[in-house]
Chains A and B, each alone.
Chain A
Amino acid sequence: MKSSKYYTIISVVLLSLLALPIVGCAPKAAPAKDVSVEFMSGLPSFVGAESVVIKPIFKIKNPNDYMVSVDISYTLFFADETLGCSQLPKLYVPANSEVVVNDSIVISFMGWFSSDLLAATVPMPQVLGKILPIWKGLGGKQPALAKNEQWEATSPSKVVLTADMAIHQRSQAGAGKDIFLKLQRGE
């Protein structure tokens, strides 16, 4: 009786000692891989003479075996022209999955025109000459500032949008990480 109790105690102590290194090992995720973002489309959802609304659509892929959250801010460009900027609501992307998110950027003709006019050192006709082809390329209608003949003579630019994106990614894998991307529509 005495010896069997003794063996039991010894077994428990030995097992506990064996378990020690395992107990010290907390649940740990593999290091997080960066999410990838695809700029799927940037087509207008509304076109008018005073404003154009672009609807950028992004696909965010999570290559990890666990869910991640992403906070995304981006600026939309055509060449060097800033068209607008926005912050998306916080997104949760499931493990090994993807989410598609839509946004809206409102481009006001007068806002754009005035900021270009004020930022540049060129006179008004040249600013108009610079903006009108892009405006027409975006599908915008004839703005009040443009005369009929000038509007008709304007060839629309092929508008290729780019997005300068800042992503803050968080997951169970530890501290958040920041990812900065330059995306082209259709890439």
Chain B
Amino acid sequence: MKTKSTKWTLVVLLLLAALLLPMVGACKGAAPPGAAIPTAEKTVKVGLSLCYTGALGTHGSHYADGLRDYLAWVNKEGGIEYTDPVTRKTERAMMDVIWEDNAYDPAKSVAIYKRFKGAGVQLIVGYGSTPGEAMAPSASRDKIPVMELYCYASPAGYEPKPQYYAAGFGNVVEAYMAIADWFMKNWKENRPPRLAAMALSVPSQKTLNNPSGVPAYVQKAGGVYVGTEWFPGVVTDTTVQLKRLVTDGQADFLWVWGAVGHAIIVAKDLYRMGVDTNKVTVVMAACAIDESLAKAIPKESEGIWGEDYAVTPREVDIPGVKLAMEIAKWRGKDPDTYLTKTHLEGVMQGMIVCEGLKIALEKVGHNALTTTDIRDGFFSIKDLDVMGLSHPVTQRDPGYPCFCPWLRISRCENGKYVPKTGFVCYQPVIPEGREIEK
């Protein structure tokens, strides 16, 4: 009897030892070579269609670096934090980011869209009105949200339904009128002011010529619209266009849309033609100006105005600027040379991306997340604090989305780019030129 019970004890002991052995082995060191990389974490696949080369590459590359750096930073910090709607626990989701250069080319943009779709992206974030518009019909068909955040709205982008495409900045008429309104409020002479526009010739800007758009709104506001002139992507001289608008057309106000390089050409031509920037108000659109204009051509840029969607890196007390400097240092870059106003616009819009995803995740959780939920998340953004980089972000209308209708106006003075106003809001105008009913 005693022997039997001893045997039984031995069997139990052997079984226990067998159970414990693998644990002892596991504790000794690393898992075996070829062990899988953990995939348990929650991810959202995001495609970035950016602009590093082409006519707007000099501007787009700064924006692209700002956006990519911010998203990488959020991942480094553990991902997007959200409250799961079922468990009410705090969870985190990482962004699996892939990106390509669209070179501001609609054909490349469509090819990138197809590759992103094939790769299973759940969200596309992009740069550029023209590349964005090219994706809008596919986005509606495939129900993949395309948030073209650094971009003007246009009929081509907003026509495809259901709406899965959104531009960051409203339409060109709104952008133009925001600056024109500011100019006309400060108009002192006893005659109607004469206003004009000049733009890089791309499809998304052609709405400037729509008779019921800018010309009608200028007239309604009490001004006279002189006209719109176009220049190509590679331009070495804009004298002809400036002569028509400023010398012959006697414009008091000129809005110029293009990249910083185009602004340099225009500013030099204005200077050579003897145009006094204290008498003619020349405003460079946001993508056509940053601090580099005043540094590169201090003499020719003196007195030229610019519009900003974000603050400049010189405003070092702003929390968002401090964060951007910290991210730049983490990336091994010198913040003094790496950061520009455009870079900060990229960082600011990175915050919009994370907020849109966070709202979607908090609504349905990670497992149930669909591309429609992500779109709805973006369309529900309200009072997003962008750490002082711009005015808080509220998406205004799911039928006519716009995330960043807030502009600030700055001026080149003594080789520096100096802010002159707080952030002012666009008045909503739908692309055909009719007002939205409030």
Chain A residues packing against B (C-beta within 8 Å): 1, 4-5, 7-8, 11-12, 15-16, 19, 22-23, 25-30, 64-69, 73, 82, 84-87, 92, 94-96, 108, 110-111, 113-115, 117-119, 121, 123-124, 166, 168, 170-172, 175-176, 178, 180
Q: Judging by beta carbons under 8 Å apart, are A94 and B5 in contact?
A: no
Q: Does B86 contact A (CB under 8 A)?
A: no
A69 to B96, CA, bound (A): 13
CB closest chain-A residue, reference B64: A85
Q: Judging by beta carbons under 8 Å apart, are A12 and B58 in contact?
A: no
Q: Judging by beta carbons under 8 Å apart, are A166 and B27 in contact?
A: no
Residues of B within 8 A of A94 (CB): 33-34
A6 to B203, CA, bound (A): 89
Q: Judging by beta carbons under 8 Å apart, are B35 and A67 in contact?
A: yes
Q: Does B98 contact A (CB under 8 A)?
A: yes
Q: Does B361 contact A (CB under 8 A)?
A: no
User: A23-B23, A87-B98 are known contacts. Are A117 and B33 too (CB-CB below 8 A)?
Assistant: no
Smallest beta-carbon distance A173→chain B, Å: 8
Q: Which of B27, B31, B261 is within 8 Å of A118, CB to CB? A: B261
Residues of A within 8 A of B236 (CB): 117, 123-124
Q: Judging by beta carbons under 8 Å apart, are B37 and A1 in contact?
A: no
CB closest chain-A residue, reference B258: A118
A-B residue pairs, 4 tightest by C-beta: A118-B261, A4-B5, A95-B33, A114-B234
User: A11-B13, A69-B37, A118-B264 are known contacts. Are A22 and B23 too (CB-CB below 8 A)?
Assistant: yes
Q: Does B144 contact A (CB under 8 A)?
A: no
Q: Judging by beta carbons under 8 Å apart, are B331 and A166 in contact?
A: yes
Q: Judging by beta carbons under 8 Å apart, are B20 and A111 in contact?
A: no
A119 to B295, CA, bound (A): 12
Give the residue among A7, A19, A94 with the most B Cβ atoms within 10 A.
A19
A64 to B297, CA, bound (A): 52
Query: Residue-by-residue, is B12-30 near A (CB-CB < 8 Å gives 1, otherwise 0)?
Result: 1100100010011011011
Q: Judging by beta carbons under 8 Å apart, are A19 and B9 in contact?
A: no
Residues of A within 8 A of B264 (CB): 118, 121
Q: Which of B8, B13, B55, B233 is within 8 Å of A15, CB to CB? A: B13
CB closest chain-A residue, reference B232: A114
A100 to B209, CA, bound (A): 52
Q: Judging by beta carbons under 8 Å apart, are A119 and B260 in contact?
A: yes
A5 to B8, CA, bound (A): 9
Q: Judging by beta carbons under 8 Å apart, are A8 and B52 in contact?
A: no
CB closest chain-B residue, reference A84: B53
Q: Judging by beta carbons under 8 Å apart, are A178 and B72 in contact?
A: yes
Q: Judging by beta carbons under 8 Å apart, are A110 and B234 in contact?
A: yes
Q: Judging by beta carbons under 8 Å apart, are B58 and A119 in contact?
A: yes
Q: Judging by beta carbons under 8 Å apart, are A95 and B37 in contact?
A: no
Q: Does B100 contact A (CB under 8 A)?
A: yes
Chain B, range 318-349, C-beta contacts under 8 Å to A: 330-332
Q: Judging by beta carbons under 8 Å apart, are B6 and A4 in contact?
A: yes
Smallest beta-carbon distance A122→chain B, Å: 11
CB closest chain-A residue, reference B101: A85
Q: Would you mind naming 21 contact pairs between A and B with Cβ atoms under 8 Å apart?
A: A1-B5, A4-B2, A12-B12, A19-B16, A30-B30, A66-B31, A67-B37, A73-B68, A82-B61, A87-B99, A94-B33, A95-B33, A108-B53, A117-B234, A117-B261, A119-B260, A170-B37, A172-B35, A172-B37, A176-B76, A178-B72
Residues of A within 8 A of B234 (CB): 110, 113-114, 117-118
Query: Residue-by-residue, is B31-62 near A (CB-CB < 8 Å gives 1, otherwise 0)?
Result: 11111111000000000000011110110010
Q: Does B280 contact A (CB under 8 A)?
A: no
A175 to B78, CA, bound (A): 8
Q: Which of A1, A7, A16, A29 is within 8 Å of B31, CB to CB? A: A29
Query: Residue-by-residue, is B258-280 near A (CB-CB < 8 Å gives 1, otherwise 0)?
Result: 01111011001000000000000
Residues of B within 8 A of A68 (CB): 37
A23 to B101, CA, bound (A): 50
Give the residue among B20, B24, B31, B268 with the most A Cβ atoms within 10 A.
B31
Q: Judging by beta carbons under 8 Å apart, are A27 and B58 in contact?
A: no
Q: Does B296 contact A (CB under 8 A)?
A: yes
CB closest chain-B residue, reference A182: B332
Q: Does B1 contact A (CB under 8 A)?
A: yes
Q: Which of B13, B38, B61, B332 is within 8 Å of A172, CB to CB? A: B38
User: A85-B52, A111-B54 are known contacts. Are A95 and B34 too (CB-CB below 8 A)?
Assistant: yes
Q: Judging by beta carbons under 8 Å apart, are B30 and A66 in contact?
A: yes
Q: Judging by beta carbons under 8 Å apart, are B12 and A8 in contact?
A: yes
Residues of A within 8 A of B100 (CB): 87
User: A66-B35, A96-B33, A119-B261 are known contacts. Are A22 and B16 too (CB-CB below 8 A)?
Assistant: no
Q: Judging by beta carbons under 8 Å apart, are A65 and B13 in contact?
A: no
Residues of A within 8 A of B72 (CB): 166, 168, 178
